[in-house]
Structure 1
Amino acid sequence: MALTPDLIVSADGATDDDTRLTLAYENLYEVPRTIVERFSDHIQYLDISHNKITNLDAVVHFKHLTSLIADANPITEQCAIPPLPKLQLLWLNHCKISSLYPWAGKLKESCPNLVHISLMGNPAAPSYFNGGTFYEYLQYRLFVISKFPSLNHLDDRRVTEDEKAEANRLYRRPLVERIVDPGSGGLSQLIHGSVSWNAFQKKMNSLWTREKQGPRNLLI
């Protein structure tokens, strides 16, 4: 990708902190190679929001990255997040992620130390603002929380100890295995993607409703 002089100057002078790089609103389709070569060895905070980026492969070169802001890009669940073991904060608000399964599991493998995730405005993050029901919102939160034991914030809310306990109860392996027909491969059926996220969510909703044992103190 050809770079304009303005983009180089903008990147060089974006902030007085040489660990932060902002490339927002630059009409980018990818993170330019020249930017990667010049900045990847010391950048910890990268903002690439409000562009046209669909592929994040280049971000893997930012070895010291702890915060990635990629809001308002046409990123879908087909976009693989590269291994970023130091990443603690990931914002993908108002992107095009329509399914959490198996995307969230792959994200956990790539970024196991996330403490703050924000996915607001994605089809896979139901809320009152996009037509989601309370139970869909609750399941979304608990499913994501179950993947990241170290998570402190999801979207605009702090993760509570009650949520962590409920996420562990609801999505622990024996319970998940029970929603898949043992004769059709058990949990491996889910792992290999033959069960859609929508079907999985509906079954979890039904099973959760049957198994509730009185009111729970979930501050949601």
Structure 2
Amino acid sequence: KQGYSSLSDNILCHCRSLEGLSSFHSLEELILDNNLLGDDLVLPGLPRLHTLTLNKNQIITDLECLLDHLAEVTPALEYLSLLGNVACPNELVSLEKDEEDYKRYRYFVLHKLPNLKFLDAQKVTKQEREEALVRGAFMKVVKPKVGS
């Protein structure tokens, strides 16, 4: 299928930047699941990319920076999945998380990427989009620093 690439299970953790993808101007779908990619992921400008999956990577704390980067380099993005990352609070993965944590996460992501139609395999609802417009900016999860 033209415009589709799966780079899953390649342990791309040593590749902070995926600038090599810059020559794929027509890329529409990119699957980067299970690659140990982190918060500092750098993608080139991919103007036609509408589907991006980053499931089961190492996206842990700097979700806002990643979302800002995606907003800049993937303007056509409509489907994003971050399942299996610490930054995506999911009660099935972490007993410390609950449904409210996940709702806040969704509102924050939709605030940052308002053109998304699907997030983590779930269709974005009208109610979620409205909530993201009103309160999404305040839904950023801030973790207190432990230790001293």
* SS at structure 2 position matched to 1:168: helix
1:161 pairs with 2:126 = yes
Pairs within 5 Å for 1:201-216: none
Match of 1:94 among 52, 56, 62: 56
User: How many Å separate the matches in 1 of 2:110 and 2:64?
Assistant: 13
User: How many Å separate the matches in 2 of 1:119 and 1:199?
Assistant: 19
* Count, aligned residues: 137
Runs of 5+ in structure 1 lacking a partner? 1-16, 20-43, 177-195, 201-220
Runs of 5+ in structure 2 lacking a partner? none
Q: Does the 8 A contact of 1:112 with 1:148 survive in 2?
A: no
Root mean square deviation of aligned Cα: 1.8
Structure (1 or 2) with the larger CA radius of gyration = 1
Pairs within 5 Å for 1:53-64: 53-54=12-13, 55=15, 56-64=18-26
1:112 pairs with 2:75 = yes
Greater RCO, CA 8 A, separation 6+ = 2
What corresponds to 1:48 in structure 2? 7
- TM-score, length-normalised on structure 1? 0.59
What corresponds to 2:115 in structure 1? 150
Overall identity of the aligned pairs, in %: 32
User: How many Å separate the matches in 2 of 1:102 and 1:50?
Assistant: 24
Match of 1:198 among 136, 142, 145: 142
What corresponds to 1:103 in structure 2? 66
Q: Does the 8 A contact of 1:101 with 1:197 survive in 2?
A: no
- TM-score, length-normalised on structure 2? 0.86
Q: Deviations over 1:9-56 (max 9, x none)?
A: xxxxxxxx4x2xxxxxxxxxxxxxxxxxxxxxxxx1000001111322
Match of 1:129 among 54, 79, 92: 92
User: How many Å separate the matches in 1 of 2:30 and 2:77?
Assistant: 11
User: How many Å separate the matches in 2 of 1:53 and 1:79?
Assistant: 10
User: How many Å separate the matches in 2 of 1:197 and 1:165?
Assistant: 19
Q: What amino acid maps onto 2:42 in structure 1?
A: A
What corresponds to 1:190 in structure 2? none
Match of 1:170 among 120, 135, 148: 135
More helix by share: 1
Q: Deviations over 1:124-176 (max 9, x none)?
A: 0011112222221111111111122221100121000100000010035xxx5
User: How many Å separate the matches in 2 of 1:90 and 1:83?
Assistant: 13
